[in-house]
Structure 1
Amino acid sequence: MTMQDSTDLPRDTSRVDSLEDKSLLLVDDDQPFLNRLGRAMERRGFEVRTASSVGEGLAEVRRAAPAFAVVDLRLEDGTGLDVVQALHGAREDARAVMLTGYGNITTAVAAVKLGAVDYLAKPADADDVEAALLARPDALPEPPENPMSADRVRWEHIQRVYELCGRNVSETARRLNMHRRTLQRILAKRSPR
């Protein structure tokens, strides 16, 4: 029996695992979730710092900008986009992932424009977070297990136009070439899966 040379073994090239700086900032106002995710990421070798507000997150970035960040979109004192923008301004190589319980294409695009590398819907587990943080910048993401349905894509588009119109139902209906009452019924319903 011969030993295989380590260079002959297949390697997962979609992840960056050999990092020197694994400092991680977690920003979320859901304290139990923040504690669970913090412990799970520490077990994966990250040096975790936590913050429960935009203000605390910005202070942590100013104190020492981490290599990685996981930031909730909606916090009690503002939006996590401010933390991502400050982090990217302080450290261009930092990799941030946005988390949200309110999946919305518009905010996902805004997060990426401000420097986030990925956008995950809650509840995201530590494996998903780690995969997003360590994904190679040039690697294509895995196809989603549960992609959005056509109804959900339509709903997301309507929500985006509604937000861009300043939440004005009449203007949104006009731009979408839709009857105002039909739009009101769609907006009153929960988002489709």
Structure 2
Amino acid sequence: MKVTQGVYICRMRDAEQPQKILIVDDDTPFATTLANSFRKRGFLSFMSNSEDNAIQLAQKEMPELAVVDLKLWHSNGLKIVEKLKEINNDIRIVVLTGYGSISTAVSAIRLGACHYLLKPSGTIDIITAFDRTKGNFEVDIGDKQNAKLKIDKWELINSALSQNDFNISETARQLGMHRRTLARILNRGRKQTS
């Protein structure tokens, strides 16, 4: 992919076949907007809101690129990353999340994602992320003051969320806090990274 004066040109296998991209996200309006944006830039895009459907689409269409939300209603996006890499080891995957942490970013990269972005991320951010070198990523956790404390807190919360398949109630119970308190912390964290 080349960026020329704000115009995005995707690599073509040949003059008639654009790159295929799979978008896996249970936020249908967001996924639809993203899919349409990629189509306008010359990609052939497919959408899925579940793990099973995403795997079926990947087996049928063999996309070269994928955008996978970390948290789906009934699945963990990391499982999808792993399965997509089993289907096609050359697929380039960008993981999106509203729950940013270093541990989940590292897990995504270890499983084969080429980059990890915090929501909201647009098409331009995602296209840029596809070209980044594996392991070269950043996770913005807010300002530098008290960064160690913030990292430790987010690590603990996100590790517990991941272990509980992003079930907020169960995570709050394990962390010994009220569900609403945890939800407020997560919402505040999302707003700071927006």
Are 2:30 and 1:37 equivalent residues in the alignment?
no
Aligned to 1:18: 11
Q: 1:87-126: per-residue Cα shift (whole Å, max 9, x none)?
A: 1111111100001111122111111111101111111111
Are 2:110 and 1:90 equivalent residues in the alignment?
no
Partners of 2:10 and 2:43 within 8 A in 1: no
List runs of 5+ in structure 2 lacking aligned partners.
164-170
Are 2:99 and 1:102 equivalent residues in the alignment?
yes
Partners of 2:51 and 2:80 within 8 A in 1: yes
Q: Which amino acid aligns with 1:42?
A: R
Task: Specify which of 59, 63, 83 is matched with residue 60 of structure 2.
Answer: 63
Larger Rg: 1
- 1:156 Cα shift? 2.7
The count of residues paired between Structure 1 and Structure 2 equals 164
Task: Give runs of aligned pairs for residues 1-193 of structure 1, distance below 5 A.
Answer: 17-20=10-13, 22-133=19-130, 135-137=131-133, 148-150=142-144, 151-161=146-156, 169=175, 190=185, 193=192
Q: Which amino acid aligns with 1:85?
A: E
Q: Alpha carbons of 1:42 and 1:163: their partners in 2 closer, same or farther (altered >3 Å)?
A: closer
Q: Alpha carbons of 1:169 and 1:82: their partners in 2 closer, same or farther (altered >3 Å)?
A: closer
Q: Distance in 1 between the 2:33 and 2:159 partners?
A: 36
TM-score by length of 2: 0.70
Percent identity of the aligned residues?
Answer: 29
- 1:64 Cα shift? 3.2
Q: Distance in 1 between the 2:12 and 2:92 partners?
A: 12
List runs of 5+ in structure 1 lacking aligned partners.
1-10, 171-180
SS in structure 2 of the partner of residue 116 of structure 1: coil
Cα RMSD (Å): 3.4
Higher mean alpha-carbon deviation, 151-160 vs 70-79, is at 151-160
Q: Distance in 2 between the 1:35 and 1:41 partners?
A: 10
Q: Distance in 1 between the 2:72 and 2:48 partners?
A: 11
